[in-house]
Amino acid sequence: MVMNKKRWIIPGVVVVLVTGLYVGNRSGDGSGRHQVLAHRGIAQTFPLDGVGNDTCTATRINPPDHAYIENTLPSMRAAFAAGADMLEFDVQVSADGQLVVFHDSALECRTDGRGAVKEHSLADLRKLDLGYGYTADNGATFPLRGKGTGLLTTVPEVLAAFPDRELLLDLKNDDASEGERLADLLGTLPPERLATLAVYGGDAPVAAVAKRLPQVRAASKKTMRDCLLAYEGIGWTGHVPDSCRHTELHLPHRYGRALWGWPNRFVERMREADTRVILVAGDGPWSEGFDRREDLTDVPDGWSGWLWSNRVDLIENSGR
């Protein structure tokens, strides 16, 4: 009789542990109130099939239903007017050391310029037509040509234009010196302004910013990888590792389900650790966004984190 009791002890303990894991890591209901990050303002979208690292996406845009050009002040203002909660924009460094807002390292794809951004002064970059290369019909027409002249802006100008808004700065090149230059600028800002800013991009420049300005949220592939690997190891306990604190995570929705407490309990744990969880559509490598109302069907029920979008004007106020 004693042996029979002992035989049931281990299975009973296993059941208790499994039940505890399940209860402690259920998704939860969530508040159902998401926030939206406007990727490059309101942008021209394009099909992602066949896109590679060297694809000129300006030559394959969808037929435009608006005239905004990404990473320009008009596009950014339109995104906030449409209801964006945060704005992401891209950062390059010019030949004269200015922090300019532009996506590509080279000029040929989108503009009427030639060569690398870093080979041109700010004054020369200001003369370019940022809408020159966009076409939806293999070059038969260029609907944005002539509409982007003089629209290139700088990081200080964006900061001044949106003094109290949440901004995410994307350092496009994996160059530590560009992170140092951005840190030089951000280091002149008051603490209350730094609290509204975050930086992400290449491992080297992001690490440079994080070292000098630890109060600024900083994220890169390395920081996100370190966080998620650590969380997979101990997240079942409900504990958030230090590598997941005061940062942000850009997560493709299809992979989130592997995380303890996904989606809503996970988001809440990260929020308590001062970390933002930004849901990216698709597989993640090409900044695919929730750009149409029908895309919102892929958002987890009760999602209370962030959504990444290239067309905040089409999705905002949907599902809130």
- Name residue 160's amino acid: A
Give CA–CA dist 240/235, Å, rounded. Answer: 6
Please indicate whether residue 23 or residue 56 has the higher confidence score (pLDDT).
56
Fold of 42-213: TIM Barrel (3.20.20)
pLDDT at residue 1 is higher than 60: no
pLDDT band of residue 320 (cuts 50, 70, 90) is very low
pLDDT band of residue 318 (cuts 50, 70, 90) is very low
State residue 255's pLDDT score.
83
Please indicate whether residue 14 or residue 297 has the higher confidence score (pLDDT).
297
pTM comes to 0.91
Please indicate whether residue 15 or residue 237 has the higher confidence score (pLDDT).
237
Residue range 233-251: average pLDDT? 97
- Name residue 292's amino acid: R
Residue range 204-215: average pLDDT? 98
pLDDT band of residue 115 (cuts 50, 70, 90) is very high
205 token code pair: 């420049």
Mean residue pLDDT across the chain:
91
Question: 83-101: per-residue pLDDT in tens?
Answer: 999 999 999 999 999 999 9
Please indicate whether residue 54 or residue 272 has the higher confidence score (pLDDT).
272
Q: What percent of the chain has pLDDT over 70?
A: 88
Residue range 224-231: average pLDDT? 97
Q: Report domain extents, the chain.
A: 42-213, 216-320
Residue range 216-231: average pLDDT? 97
State residue 12's pLDDT score.
46
Sign of the C-alpha dihedral, residues 71, 199, 33, 24? Answer: positive
State residue 54's pLDDT score.
86
